[in-house]
């Protein structure tokens, strides 16, 4: 219909690549990523928790705009930013895992793994399997780096689980504060964030201080 606002088409990606705090910051700061959630997936236990994971893995669950970033680009970040477990078998909680959401993504992931193996000259133990169900982790795990700044969380009213999981701003700030974005990227994206002068200066300080320090858990 004329004048109708076109609905944004989003896609979903789910990865396990070690401790989920680091990859939450990494993907949250990535242009084209709209929302991030950390949690548990890939196993069979109903209602897992951090203290009772069963056979699940810590994962990052992502909503992204495919017109801005493609699935292969997300996979490139996945391959290049593992904390551990890409070539060494470790416990299932931190294993390397790709959970695909459609056949196109399955094929892309499998082909990408083959290409990475040839490039690295060693086998990758990344498991690629169908996504079944995602269980969000406890609130204190969500946007962990952002929640370490309670003043900013209060100022921006991002206190509830729904706000932390559903907000693009929360995802970006979690990455910015951890040093997952350059100063140039932050300044370029700043007009779209809706921050006032006080919160802008607060975030900018940490972007400058933490840029290039590397992600960690």
Q: Are 26 and 77 in contact (CB under 8 A)?
A: yes
> Could you write out the DSSP letters of every residue in the chain?
-TTPPPPPP-EEEEEEES-HHHHHHHHHTSTTEEEEEEEEESS--SS-BTTB-TT-EEEEEEEE-TTTS-HHHHHHHHHHT-SS-SSS---GGG-EEEEESSHHHHHHHHHHHHHHHHHHTS----EEEE---EEEPPGGGTTHHHHT-HHHHHHTT--SHHHHHH-HHHHHHHHHHHT-S-HHHHHHHGGGT---HHHHHHHHHHHHHHTTS----
Q: Are 89 and 125 in contact (CB under 8 A)?
A: yes
Q: Are 77 and 105 in contact (CB under 8 A)?
A: no
- Structure token pair of residue 22: 């680091």
Q: Which residue has the tokens 């590397």?
A: 214
Catalytic residues: 19
Q: Which residue has the tokens 């959970």?
A: 99
């Amino acid at each position: 219909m004329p004048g109708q606002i076109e609905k944004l088409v989003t896609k979903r990606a789910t990865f396990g690549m070690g401790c989920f705090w680091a990859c939450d910051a990494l993907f949250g700061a990535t242009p084209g990523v709209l929302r991030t959630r950390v949690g548990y997936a890939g196993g069979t236990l109903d209602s897992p928790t951090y203290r009772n994971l069963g056979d699940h893995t810590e994962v990052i669950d992502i909503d992204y705009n495919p017109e801005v970033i493609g699935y292969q680009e997300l996979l490139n970040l996945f391959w290049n930013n593992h904390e551990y477990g890409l070539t060494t078998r470790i416990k299932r909680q931190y294993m390397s895992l790709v959970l695909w959401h459609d056949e196109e993504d399955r094929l892309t992931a499998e082909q990408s793994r083959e290409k990475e193996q040839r490039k690295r000259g060693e086998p990758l133990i990344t498991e690629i399997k169908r996504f079944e169900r995602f269980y969000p982790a406890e609130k204190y795990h969500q946007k962990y780096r952002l929640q370490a700044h309670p003043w900013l969380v209060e100022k921006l009213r991002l206190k509830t689980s729904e706000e932390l999981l559903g907000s693009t701003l929360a995802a970006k700030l979690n990455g910015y504060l951890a040093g997952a974005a350059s100063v140039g990227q932050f300044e370029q994206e700043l007009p779209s964030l809706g921050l006032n002068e006080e919160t802008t200066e607060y975030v900018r300080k940490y972007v400058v201080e933490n840029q290039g320090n590397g992600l960690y858990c």
